[in-house]
Amino acid sequence: MTHGFTTRSLRWGPDEGRRDLGPAEPVAVPIYQASTFAFPCAEELAEIIRSGHDAGYVYSRWHNPTRAALESVVADLEGAGAAVSFSSGMAAITTSLAAVARSGDHVVFSPDLYGGSFAVARKILPRWGVRTTIAGSHRAEDFVAAMEDGTVACFAETIGNPTVSVPDLSALGAECRSRGVRLVVDNTFASPYLCNPLSLGADIVAHSTTKYLGGHHDLIGGVACGSRELMDEVREMSVDLGGTASPFDAWLALRGTATLALRMERHCSNALQVAGYLEGHPKVARVWYPGLPSHPDHRTAMSMLRGFGGMLAFELADGLDAGRRFTEGVRLAKMAPSLGGVHTLVIHAASVTHTQLTPEERASAGIGEGLVRVSVGIEDPEDLLHDFEQALKSA
Ligand code: PLP
């Protein structure tokens, strides 16, 4: 019998912790805070090193039992053959792209991306000889229009930054598959609870475990998932590039993942209430939330996601100063970057996260001067609405 999502999020393996405990089994995953593993026999150690990273634990940049437990849970939740954990979401993304694209290849990126992924597209990959194009929009036809001879991969976010756009991953996956192009999806905003991009045609799914998987604002980490063959390539790359997760951060991510379903349900219901409240507020010109019929991607979100998530953005009618005043005026919510944790976080795009763009560039990306991004936490919804109400008075 296949277990449900929450049950699977509690089932980790391999259970290396049992080895010296007789019949006893640790219920929580032990933290193997060891950089290296000692062997009594040189031949045995040499054999494990010769046979590759799956053969046993030797050195924690290659493999570590706590990381392996996290990888087994996330691979299962994403419906993947295997997963590789990283020291950050960006390490998961750059290592995955380095595994699929070589010098001379071409990669197409969605325009609705986290800034770090933009930097990879605009600065890092071109320095490695990989050509990149930012598609005209997150629609599949614009990805296709941006493809060239030598296109090997497309990169998109399940729910994009900051206007929470939702690309049709089934359509994009089908276009990629018919051309032999790999689809790499950053599933951070959605988490595996809301969407499994591999089932829609993606080849690699990356997460920043810093966000919903960890869920408590206390770790930096990442993970990539896909077929075993592809993940063998990603793991080999990660061993050499070195962005592997520490055992303790992997443990924190695993501990967070155990409650992902419970937290996501609360994030989704809180966000829907906050979005509905903001949509009716006279100082708010526009709300971006895929759960609202007013969002341009609402229909795609309804068919692709198992809920609409905890991320939203809204535009204050009075522009830049109002956006800044709102984010400085919240008391329960906190003004901070990052997202996906138990606390509600707010941030103003024009004065904090998107200052590198001119007002015109922001406008063409759909980011108005008064745009505030909200990562809705798991607080009691009436407390959150009360906090937003008082902050809007001063905005
Ligand atoms: N992907 C998305 C959508 C993000 O928002 C972020 C960070 O905010 C990252 C990736 C990078 O994650 P990390 O900070 O863990 O490297």
Which atom, in ligand 1's list, is nearest to the CA of 220?
15
- pLDDT for 52 equals 77
Burial of 14 (0-12, 13-18, 19+ CB in 10 A): exposed
Q: Is the beta carbon of 219 within 6 A of some atom in ligand 1?
A: no
The active-site residue, picked from 32, 114, 193, 289, is: 114
Look at residues 133, 137, 132, 93 and name the one whose alpha carbon lies nearest to residue 112: 137
Q: Is the beta carbon of 387 within 6 A of some atom in ligand 1?
A: no
* Separation CA 380–CA 19 (nearest Å): 43
Q: Is the beta carbon of 114 within 6 A of some atom in ligand 1?
A: yes
Is residue 283 annotated as a catalytic residue, yes or no? no
Kindly give the distance from the C-alpha atom of residue 88 to the centroid of ligand 1, in angstroms, as a whole number.
8
pTM reported for the whole predicted model:
0.96
Closest CA to ligand 1's atom 7: 338
- pLDDT for 55 equals 81
Is residue 186 annotated as a catalytic residue, yes or no? yes
- pLDDT for 161 equals 87
- pLDDT for 360 equals 82
Is residue 8 annotated as a catalytic residue, yes or no? no
- pLDDT for 17 equals 47
Sheet with 311-316, edge to edge strand ranges: 284-288, 311-316, 371-375, 345-348, 334-335
Q: b or e along 297-336 (b: 16 or more beta carbons within 10 Å of the residue's beta carbon)?
A: beebbeebbebbbbbbbbbbeebbebbbbbbebbebbebb
Q: What is the pLDDT along the chain (395 residues), one digit of tens a residue?
A: 789 999 999 987 655 445 567 778 888 889 999 999 999 999 999 999 888 767 889 999 999 999 999 999 999 999 999 999 999 999 999 999 999 999 999 999 999 999 899 999 999 999 999 999 999 999 999 999 999 999 999 999 999 988 999 999 999 999 999 999 999 999 999 999 999 999 999 999 999 999 999 999 999 999 999 999 999 999 999 999 999 999 999 999 999 999 999 999 999 999 999 999 999 999 999 999 999 999 999 999 999 999 999 999 999 999 999 999 999 999 999 999 999 999 999 999 988 888 877 888 788 778 899 999 999 999 999 999 999 999 999 99
* Separation CA 366–CA 4 (nearest Å): 38
Kindly give the distance from the C-alpha atom of residue 155 to the centroid of ligand 1, in angstroms, as a whole number.
14
Kindly give the distance from the C-alpha atom of residue 209 to the centroid of ligand 1, in angstroms, as a whole number.
8
- pLDDT for 164 equals 96
Kindly give the distance from the C-alpha atom of residue 188 to the centroid of ligand 1, in angstroms, as a whole number.
7
- pLDDT for 25 equals 80
The active-site residue, picked from 139, 211, 286, 325, is: 211
Q: Is the beta carbon of 210 within 6 A of some atom in ligand 1?
A: yes
